[in-house]
Amino acid sequence: MIRIQSYRNLRVIRWLFGFLGALIATVLIAVYWVADGVQANFYTTSWIGNTFGGGEKWVQNQVIDMYVAPDGTVFTNSPWDEGGREAGVYKNGDAIARAADLHGWERFGGIAVTADQKYMYVSMLQGHVDGKGNDYPPAKTSWFCVRRFDLSGKPAPFAGGNGWDKSMLIVSDKNEVSGLATIGSELYVAVRDENIVRVYNKKTLKEIRNFSVPNPTKIAVDKRNTLWIIQNQKDGDSAQISHYTKAGNRLPQVINNVPGANAIAVDDQNRLLVADNGKNQQILIYNIKNQPTQVGTFGLKGGVYAERPGEVGNLKFYGITGIGVDAKGNIYVNSSGFNQGDNTQAIKTGTDIRKFSPSGKMQWQVVGLPFVDNADADPKFNGTHVYTIHDHYIMDYSKPAGKQWIYFAYSLNPFKYPQDIRLRVAHGSVFFRRIQGKPFMYFTDMFGGFLHAYRFNPATDGEVAIPSVMFQGTSANEEQVKPDSWPPNQPQIGDWIWQDKNGNGAFDKGEFDKSSRDYPYQGGWWVDSKGDVWKTLRIQSGIRHFPLQGIDSKGNPIYSYSSMKKFTTPEQIKDIRRIEYFPKTDTMYLSGFTQRYPAAYDDGKAFGSEIFRYDNWNKGNRKERWRIAVPYDGQANPQVLTASMSIAGDYVFIVTVRTAEVYIYNKLTGAFVTKLKPGPEVANESGWIDIPYGIRAFQRANGEYLVFVEEDAKAKVIMYSLPRRIPVQKTSST
């Protein structure tokens, strides 16, 4: 034992320990901080829903057509990808290239693609741009083109080409290109709405002939160099596959018993593969030596709705938009889910490309699933079950970044529930709740225009979310709803609540509870832990509270206008926007614009400039605990705007629109804690936050925080993992 001989020696030892402690703290601070004041290393960045993390590698958010080359290279096309991969190139499970300069300057992708040994040919649209000359269309005009690229994705100009780089072949100024194929030196271009197939010389891209085909779309070329063409009606209800010579002469063979025909290819055995995108969700295989005869199928009949509905499986397809076969007989299938595209928000979401051996064993899969979407965790399972609008993921947090998620289920069934609003509105975010022990998912769109609840019944519907309840606010544009407005049977004036009383998931007569006309401009929605619904209406009497009245015999939560409560907006908030209420502590969090920090302009989706916390909200002695001025400068260039908030554990989390930075505040004091930025795992980047609930925070049983953030550029959800006690940043929060 060492004995301390004197008080003086004790002071020296204490000083040494203090010095060492300060030195260690200094080293730790040096480790934690980076140049811009953002604390690093205490959190990790990950992502959900995309095979790749970002940078130059990501899977596009939709695929409408796909061509597979003999060597197994996969070429894709889509009308829009936020990050600019409208036309992608994949091989061996890797994203190897994309068509350059096909995004921005009024350029868009399309719905057809093909390739040969030297080039890929991509259907596209070039719109008018003010101030541009002959390299762009005149005002009020668009060019529907085929654009030529080399196989690395660089534009390949040609004599007589159009566009600023002369790589565009103008096919029409009225109708889009709907199908592409090549035979030898010729390029075949289908234009459905002009009932024509045009044929071009591939070298010169001069038209050499054309022939009439009613409603032509996808084209496949067989081993005899004859054409098989899908003919789809505009309403999509009927389709047939017809046979033509390359000169355009109609041959007698026809397939007219596949109403859901949506993609087509010829395999190495000269068999015709047809995607049945109807209820079967299969690939049908035909012997085409004489009159086509079906000789087999590929994939489970019923697709993702076979066996346990909604649960993903290797051979369970959903929304087939592309098929192909390479020279070795390997089969490639893309599923893009279901979205009818009736709504301006409805860009198709989801890409799921799979390669199979000839025997049907999956070789690889790449996916890009969420787009303008965010995740929420089922509170029952400690963060291991996570949901987005259409998808269910199972998480394993012991795995590396980007590998923690497994795509488990697709929760939309258009065949059983054709009135599901997710078929019309593809973007927004969900609240996942357990109410009286039962799971419910609530969905609101990117403008907060409605709130839709879904129930689950594993015995009848597996993993499918069943339309259950919908809140709709007063229309802003018309006093009376038009008779043909969607959904059917809705009240003509004012607010309404729909409840699926007969359990069929459809908007039937007698299922609506209506109210008088209310203030039409909404600010926010919230579903608390008890299942009560809250909404804000941007006025001084703008808080509406719908207490849960129980669960009916079909499993639907019950709400009514007769039980609705109204609250006056606190006087400090001049334009209320978001709301989160916690019944266990009777705590209310509100955001909006204030007299101190007013809105720079009127933006219906805006979050506001301040957050307020109120204690004892329902107890009659309501008290403002704190108010936080959040990042907001509508006049800055670029603008500084806050998008969303989420409260979990000891903290308030917010996220900004353009930089997607997460600001964290102490829930008790309102003090700024720290700021997060996307890490190197996602190439230090994120797209904008484009939905009102673009951030969701969840605290696990071990105290760890999960923070889910929308990432609209590259088809994923960013996920941050943080410790129970988050280190406090010493620099400014702005």
In this predicted model, what pLDDT tens digit does every residue of 428-445 receive, in sequence order? Answer: 999 999 999 999 999 999
Lowest-confidence region among 28-42, 315-329, 565-579: 28-42
pLDDT of residue 620: 79
Spatial CB neighbours of 39, under 8 Å, sequence gap ≥ 6: 32, 33, 674, 675, 727, 729
Mean pLDDT of 586-603: 94
Record the tokens describing residue 730, joined without a space. 């010493």
Strand runs (DSSP E) across 677-715, as ranges?
Answer: 695-699, 705-711
The token duo for 438 is 């039962």
pLDDT for res 19: 41
Which of these ranges, 216-225, 381-390, 500-509, 634-643, has the smallest mean pLDDT?
Answer: 634-643
Q: What are the tokens at 242?
A: 């017809």
**What pLDDT is recorded for position 186?**
98
**Position 85 pLDDT exceeds 90:** yes
Burial class (CB in 10 A: 0-12, 13-18, 19+), 203: exposed
pLDDT at 669 over 80: yes
Specify whether the backbone of 215 is left (phi greater than 0), alpha (psi in -120 to 50) or beta. Answer: left
Would you list the domain boundaries of the chain?
51-368, 376-722
Q: Where are the beta strands (DSSP E) in 13-118?
A: 44-48, 65-68, 74-77, 88-91, 94-98, 107-108, 113-115
CA distance 392 to 378: 10
Residue 452 to residue 469: CA distance in whole angstroms: 6
In sequence order, what are the residues at sequence separation of 6 or more whose Cβ sits closer than 8 angstroms to the Cβ of residue 504?
none
pLDDT at residue 28 tops 50: no
Q: Beta strands of 82-206 (E only): which ranges?
A: 88-91, 94-98, 107-108, 113-115, 119-127, 142-150, 168-172, 179-183, 186-191, 196-201
Q: Give me the mean pLDDT over the 50-65 stretch.
A: 96
Q: Structure tokens of 515?
A: 């109210």
* Alpha carbon distance 651, 536 (integer Å): 23
Cα-Cα-Cα-Cα dihedral of 67, 69, 74, 75, to 10°? -50
SS3 17: helix
- Fold category of 51-368 in CATH: Neuraminidase (2.120.10)
Has residue 342 got a pLDDT over 50? no
Task: Report the pLDDT value the prediction gives residue 343, as an integer from 0 to 100.
Answer: 41
Confidence of residue 16 (pLDDT cuts 50, 70, 90): very low
CA angle 511, 514, 518 (to 5 degrees): 150
pLDDT for position 74: 98
What is the amino acid identity at position 674? T
Q: What is the pLDDT of residue 348?
A: 66
Q: Look up residue 394 and give its amino acid.
A: I
Quote the pLDDT of residue 251.
98
pLDDT grade for 517, boundaries at 50, 70 and 90: confident
- Mean pLDDT of all residues in the chain? 92
Question: Does 33 score more than 70 pLDDT?
Answer: no
236-267: pLDDT as tens digits: 557 899 999 999 999 999 999 998 899 999 99
Give the pLDDT confidence score for residue 693 in this predicted structure. 96
Phi, psi of 423 (to 5 degrees): -75, -20
Conformation bin of residue 61: beta by default, left when phi > 0, alpha when psi is -120 to 50: alpha
Three-state SS for 707? strand
What number is the average pLDDT over the span 521-535?
A: 94
- Comparison of pLDDT for 10 and 567, the residue scoring more: 567
pLDDT value of position 732: 60
Q: Are 406 and 729 in contact (CB under 8 A)?
A: no
Residue 655 or 621, more confident: 655
Between residues 272 and 37, which one has the greater pLDDT?
272
Return phi, psi of residue 363, to 5°.
Answer: -95, -45
Fold for the domain defined by 376-722: Methylamine Dehydrogenase; Chain H (2.130.10)
Q: pTM for the full model? A: 0.93
pLDDT at 733: 62
| pLDDT, tens digit, 9 for 90 and up, residues 159-179 | 999 999 999 999 999 999 999
Strand order in the sheet with 623-629: 573-582, 587-594, 610-615, 623-629
Do residues 284 and 303 lie in contact, with contact meaning Cβ atoms separated by under 8 Å? no
Cα separation, 594 vs 592, in Å, equals 7
Segment 652-673 shows an average pLDDT of 97
Identify the weakest region by mean pLDDT among 276-280, 336-340, 514-518, 566-570. 336-340
Kindly tell me if the per-residue pLDDT of 132 is higher than 90: no
Report pLDDT for 728. 96
Please report, as a single letter, which amino acid is at residue 47. Answer: W
Average pLDDT over residues 472-499: 84
Q: pLDDT band at 40, cuts 50/70/90? A: low
Average pLDDT over residues 391-404: 98
Q: Which of 155, 164, 178 is nearest to 79 (CA)?
A: 178
| Mean pLDDT calculated for residue range 213-222 | 97
Q: Is 90 exceeded by the pLDDT of residue 714? A: yes
Mean pLDDT of 229-242: 81
More confident position, 26 or 675: 675
pLDDT at 479 over 90: no
Residue 347's pLDDT is 59
> What is the C-alpha to C-alpha distance for residues 74 and 91, in angstroms, rounded to an integer?
6
Alpha-carbon distance of 209 to 252, in angstroms, equals 22
